[in-house]
Amino acid sequence: YAIVDLIRRKRDCGTWTPDEARWIINAFTAGIVADEQMSALAMAVFFRGMAPAELDAWTEAMIATGSRLDYSGLGRPTADKHSTGGVGDKITLPLTPLVAACGVAVPQLSGRGLGHTGGTLDKLDSIPGWRSDLPPARVRAQLEDVGGVIVAAGPDLAPADRKLYALRDVTGTVESIPLIASSIMSKKIAEGTGTLVLDVKVGSGAFMKDIDRARTLAETMVRLGTRAGVRTTALLTDMDTPLGLTAGNALEVGEALEVLAGGGPADVVDLTLALAREMLAGAGVDADPAEVLASGRAMDRWRRLVRAQGGDPDAPLPVAREHETLTAESDGVIGGVDALGVGLAAWHLGAGRARKEDQVQAGAGIQLHVRPGDRVRTGQRLVTLHTDTPERFEAARRALAGAVTLLGPEGHVDE
Ligand code: URA
C-alpha cells in the first residue's frame, strides 16, 4: 500500500479496508511508515474517526505487534480495572488487594500521571522500595502466590501503542475516541485478563468533559473487549469533584490505607466497592467485598502485595517539606470543589510532570478539608497545599482560585 494514499483517503472521509488498517499499524511499527506520516494520519483520524471494521482490525493489529498473555491455567478467574483518569483517583490501590482477597486474581496494568491526572505507578513509587517493572514470569508467579500485582506495561505489550502514543502526545491527537479506545484496549486485551471493568470518568477533571462523548468511548471500548473474548463492562462516574480528600502521590496512598483499614472518605469506599462488585460478577465469584474490606483481609492482602513488589508496608510515607493552608474568608456553605482546579494545583505543586522525563515529588499535592455541602465558619481550613518547592505555591494558589466555591448566607458566591 502507499501510505500517502491511505492518509489522503482518511482525510477525504473515506474508509480503509481491514487489511489496510492492519498494514498501517504493522508498517508503522516496522519503521516503514515514518513518524511524520503517522502523525498526519493520526490527525486525519482525529477529524474523521474510524468505522467499527477499521477500528477492530487496527486494534487487533496493535495487539499482534506484541504477545498476548494467557492466564487461563492459573486456577482462578482474572479481572482488571481501567480508569480513564481523574483527580484523586486512587481506587486501584484498595481495589486490587480487595478483589484478590475475594478470590479473583488481578493482573492490574497501570500507568503514570498524564497532565493534571495522577497515575497509579507514581503513587505506588512513594512507598520505599516499591517496584512496578516486573518481567512476565514474576507477574505470573505473584498472581499465583498473592493473587494480585500492579505493574507497568512491559516492552512486549502492544509495542505499537507505545510508539503511537509518543507521537499523539506531541501532535495534539490524544483526544480521539477511536485512538484512545484502541490504545487502552490493545494493552488490556494483550495483558490477558478474563474480565475487564472500565471506569470512564466524566466531568471537568476528566478527559471526557461531556456525558455523550464518555458514553461513546465506553461503548467503543466495551465492543472491542467483548469481540476479543474479554468480559467487559463500563461504569460512567463523576469527575467534576475530586475523588476523596487528597490529590498527590503519597497523600493518596495514605488515603487508600485509610480505606483498607475500614475508614476513608465515603465516595472512595463506595466506588471501590462498586467496581469490586462488577469485577467479581464478571469473574463469576460470589463474595461480598464490603464484608471482606471490613474483615481486614483486604489490608492483609495489600501488605503481601507491597512486600512481594519490594516495598515496605510499614515504612513512613514521604511528607513534603513545606505546606500552606487556605482558610474561609467568611461563613457559608461549600458550593463546589472543582476537580480540574484541584488537579492543576496538585500538578503545579510537583505531584505531576511538565515533561515525560520529569520526576514527580512524592509528598506534593492537595489535601481538602471540606466537601461540597459542608457548612464552614470564617477562618476554618479549606485546603492544605504540600510541596518541596515553595516557589510553586503561587501558581497552585492561582489554579485553586475559584475551584472551591463558598456560598454566602444569601447563596451568592464569595470565593
Ligand atoms: N490512556 C492510554 O493508555 N491511551 C490513551 O490514548 C489515553 C489514555
Domain limits of the chain? 3-64, 72-308, 322-407
Alpha carbons 160 and 167: distance in angstroms, whole number:
11
SS3 78: strand
SS3 323: strand
C-alpha cell read off for 288: 461480598
Catalytic residue list contains 187: yes
10-residue mean pLDDT series, the chain (415 residues): 97 98 98 98 98 98 96 94 95 98 96 85 97 94 97 94 92 94 97 97 94 98 98 98 98 98 98 98 98 98 98 98 96 96 96 86 98 96 98 97 84 50
What local confidence, expressed as pLDDT, does residue 410 receive?
Answer: 54
Domain 72-308: give its CATH code.
Answer: 3.40.1030.10
Catalytic residue list contains 240: no
What local confidence, expressed as pLDDT, does residue 272 receive?
Answer: 98
Q: Which CATH class is domain 322-407?
A: alpha beta
350 alpha carbon – ligand 1 mean position (Å): 22
CB burial of residue 196 (10 Å; 0-12, 13-18, 19+): buried
Q: Give the global pTM.
A: 0.95
What local confidence, expressed as pLDDT, does residue 114 receive?
Answer: 76
Angle between helices 52-64 and 18-29 in degrees, nearest 10: 30
| Ligand 1 pocket: which of 58, 174, 196 to mutate (most atoms within 8 A of CB) | 174
Q: Which CATH class is domain 3-64?
A: mainly alpha
Give, using CA atoms, the residue closest to atom 8 of ligand 1: 180
Give, using CA atoms, the residue closest to atom 6 of ligand 1: 180
What local confidence, expressed as pLDDT, does residue 379 receive?
Answer: 96
- Backbone phi, psi, residue 199, to 5°: -110, 95
What is the C-alpha radius of gyration for the chain, rounded to an integer number of angstroms?
22
Q: Is the dihedral of CA 78, 84, 85, 91 positive or negative?
A: negative
Closest atom of ligand 1 relative to the 168 alpha carbon: 6
For residue 303, the one-letter residue type is R
Catalytic residue list contains 303: no
Non-local CB neighbours of 194 within 8 Å, separated by 6+ positions = 71, 72, 77, 78, 79, 230, 231, 282, 283
- Backbone phi, psi, residue 99, to 5°: -70, -35
180 alpha carbon – ligand 1 mean position (Å): 5
Give the residue carrying C-alpha cell 514474576: 138
329 alpha carbon – ligand 1 mean position (Å): 40
**Could you report the predicted ipTM of this complex, rounded to two decimals?**
0.95
Question: Of all residues in the chain, what percent are helix, strand and coil, respectively (each to 5)?
Answer: 45, 15, 40
Which residues' Cβ are closer than 6 Å to ligand 1? 165, 174, 179-180, 183-184
